[in-house]
């Protein structure tokens, strides 16, 4: 490579001759020597800075590793023990969102029938984390270990799949709630899209690959007015960002099924309710406010039409989840490469009996023995839809899915749990 001097003074024969003893040349050489020294010092400082930054990055990575709430011999032992099935041909299932409403119920049902279960949950503060901690305690009492971590943590997922050969993944972790998306849209992208991709990457790279069952939502039907909603209906008109992220999830999972051979089943849940439920759901907040003597807001659709929901009791949803796992079939990829076609399915899981919100309130009043103070207002444009109604014929045929709990019975069970959990006696708080 030509030197700086060669660049300034080309050594072309016959053109000109350099007199190195000329005063101007001696002055130039002193300047050049000084410049070279500065250049070397600059290189030294750059190298020193790069070394420091690399060391700092190493220290930070190590600090994060050692401060993480997971890892170590004892942790790995807990994961392995929890994942060990206790029935012939039992599954080893990773349940994301295990400390959530549906996740905790599914985890308990799997463990009860002899499957191995490892939970994963980040215990975020979308609603009171103490309820999630209580669910975790319940799971722990039944021998289910729940890892405190995020599905976007690639190192954590790699470690879990290294420690356990999961046969199935039940992906229930998500940022829920239609209205909250207007306040914090990024949380939906982080959990429902980025988190899903991170998990699918771990699944497709696993060898053998697990079968994946995940929670989509009835919200994907959006502005569709055809009822009841069928899996073949259009889902390209979402009414909320939450619905849009779930629709995106269906497209993303189809891609991973097509390219990598992952067996994937998507479940469109219809308004799940019951004990240990989510406090942001209407039936839950209605119960709380009625008992506290506070007014409840009842939304009404256009032309004074009552909103209606296909309320589905948690035990029925659990049956659909387990049926999906049992019939999922095998993934066909190996080392991240597809070797053949794998199942890709989507099912509605609902009760197929829509009930209006005023009817829901009247049932709660009966069970609570307290009259509600109602504020009836027109539904704002916040992403809610006026009605949901599930066609469950596919789930009946393929999964043996058969909901058996009506809203009257289900709410009675919920109210009994609520009064017990929050310390009420005859409708009044216990001191």
Q: What positions carry a catalytic annotation?
A: 242
Over its C-alpha atoms, the chain yields an Rg (Å, rounded) of 30
In three-state secondary structure terms, 393 is helix
- What would you measure as the largest C-alpha separation in the chain, in angstroms? 111
Can you tell me the distance from the alpha carbon of 324 to that of 399, in angstroms, rounded to the nearest whole number?
Answer: 6
Can you tell me the distance from the alpha carbon of 378 to that of 386, in angstroms, rounded to the nearest whole number?
Answer: 11
Hunting for tokens 């960002």 — which residue is that? 241
Can you tell me the distance from the alpha carbon of 389 to that of 271, in angstroms, rounded to the nearest whole number?
Answer: 10
Contact 347, 320 (CB under 8 A): yes
Q: Provide CB contacts within 8 A for 381, sequence distance 6+.
A: none
Cα–Cα–Cα angle for 358, 361, 362, rounded to 5 degrees: 90
Q: Provide the total of helices (H) and of strands (E) in the chain, helices listed first.
A: 14, 17
Return the H-helix or E-strand segment holding 347: strand 344-349
Partners of 215 in the β-ladder = 267
3-state secondary structure 285-315: HHHHHHHCCCCEEEEECHHHCECEECCEEHH
Cβ atoms within 10 A of the Cβ of 190, count?
16
């Amino acid at each position: 490579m030509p030197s700086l001097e060669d660049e300034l003074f080309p050594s072309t024969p016959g053109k000109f001759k350099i007199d190195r003893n000329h005063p101007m040349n001696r002055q130039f050489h002193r300047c050049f020597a000084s410049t070279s020294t500065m250049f070397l010092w600059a290189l030294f400082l750059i190298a020193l800075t790069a070394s420091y930054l690399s060391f700092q990055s190493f220290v930070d990575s190590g600090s994060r590793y050692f401060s993480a709430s997971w890892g170590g011999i004892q942790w790995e032992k807990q994961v392995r023990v929890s994942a060990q099935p206790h029935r012939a041909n039992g599954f080893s299932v990773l349940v994301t969102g295990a400390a959530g409403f549906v996740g905790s119920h599914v985890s308990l049902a799997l463990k009860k029938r002899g499957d191995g279960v490892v939970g994963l949950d980040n215990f975020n503060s979308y609603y009171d984390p103490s309820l999630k901690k209580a669910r975790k305690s319940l799971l722990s009492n039944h021998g289910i270990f729940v890892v405190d971590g995020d599905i976007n943590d690639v190192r954590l997922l790699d470690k879990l799949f290294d420690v356990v050969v999961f046969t199935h993944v039940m992906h229930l972790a998500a940022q829920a709630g239609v209205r909250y998306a207007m306040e914090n849209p990024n949380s939906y992208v982080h959990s429902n899209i980025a988190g899903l991709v991170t998990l699918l990457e771990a699944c497709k790279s696993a060898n053998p690959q697990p079968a994946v069952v995940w929670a989509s939502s009835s919200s994907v039907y959006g502005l569709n007015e055809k009822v009841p909603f069928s899996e073949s209906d259009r889902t390209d008109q979402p009414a909320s960002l939450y619905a849009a992220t779930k629709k995106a999830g269906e497209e993303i999972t189809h891609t991973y099924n097509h390219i990598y051979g992952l067996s994937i089943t998507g479940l469109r849940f219809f308004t799940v309710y019951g004990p240990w439920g989510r406090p942001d759901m209407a039936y839950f907040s209605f119960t709380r406010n009625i008992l506290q003597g506070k007014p409840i807001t009842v939304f009404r659709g256009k032309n004074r039409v009552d909103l209606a929901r296909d309320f589905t009791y948690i035990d029925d949803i659990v049956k659909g989840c387990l049926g999906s796992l049992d019939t999922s079939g095998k993934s066909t990829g190996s080392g991240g490469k597809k070797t053949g076609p794998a199942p890709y399915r989507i099912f509605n899981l609902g009760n197929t009996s829509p009930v209006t919100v005023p009817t829901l309130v009247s049932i709660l009043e009966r069970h609570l023995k307290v009259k509600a103070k109602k504020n009836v207002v027109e539904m704002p444009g916040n992403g809610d839809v006026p009605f949901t109604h599930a066609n469950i014929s596919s789930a009946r045929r393929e999964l043996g899915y058969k909901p058996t709990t009506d809203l009257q019975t289900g709410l009675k069970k919920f109210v009994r749990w609520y009064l017990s959990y929050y310390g009420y006696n005859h409708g009044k708080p216990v001191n």
